[in-house]
Each structure stands twice: as C-alpha cells, then as structure tokens.
Amino acid sequence: MSVRADVISQILQIRGNTKKEFPPLTDDLVLVDSGLDSLAIAILVTRLEDTLGFDPFAEFDDASPPVTLGDFIQCYENAVKLSAVDSRPTV
C-alpha cells in the first residue's frame, strides 16, 4: 500500500467511528476543517506510526506544520524518501 493510501485508509477508519458528516478527502482540504479534531489527528499520527514505523512530526522543529491534507501526506512521503536515501548501501 502506498503512503497516501495508508493515510487515507486510517482517516476513513477514524471518521467511521463518528456519525458526523465530513467533507471529501482532497489534497487542498484544510486539516483542522476536515472534521478531525486535535485528538483525532493525534490518533491518526499514532496509528500511522504503528503502520509505517515513524512519526514525521516528532522532530518538526521550526518547519511549518502541515495545513492541508496534501501537506500532511507530503510530510510522510518526504520522510519515506529520506529514509530510502539513508538506507542506500555505501560504495
């Protein structure tokens, strides 16, 4: 499964636990307006950490936190790319 698919799947699972109506999951959807409150976003990050093995926000320092769903997915995709570079064998 791609990182994007993992993120979407986890969001749908968390949303599925409530009876609220939610906007569609597009890249320009603002996270704090997505119907996911702080707690739900925190749960999402934790479950993705269990699935993917890392939390890209644990180290976010002076970088801007993600605002849209697209930014959020990008954070995970960037972390995956970085870890792929780090794990290349040296010659």
Residues 6 or more apart whose Cβ sits within 8 Å of residue 55: 45, 46, 48, 49
By CB under 8 A, tell whether 19 contacts other proteins. Answer: no
Q: How far apart are CA 38 and CA 58, in angstroms?
A: 15
Residue from 19, 21, 58, 88 touching other proteins (CB under 8 A): that is 58
Window contacting other proteins (CB under 8 A); options: 4-12, 25-33, 76-84: 25-33
Show the binding pattern over residues 36-55: x = contacts other proteins (CB under 8 A), - = does not. --xx-xxx-xxx--x----x
By CB under 8 A, tell whether 30 contacts other proteins. Answer: yes
Q: How far apart are CA 69 and CA 75, in angstroms?
A: 10
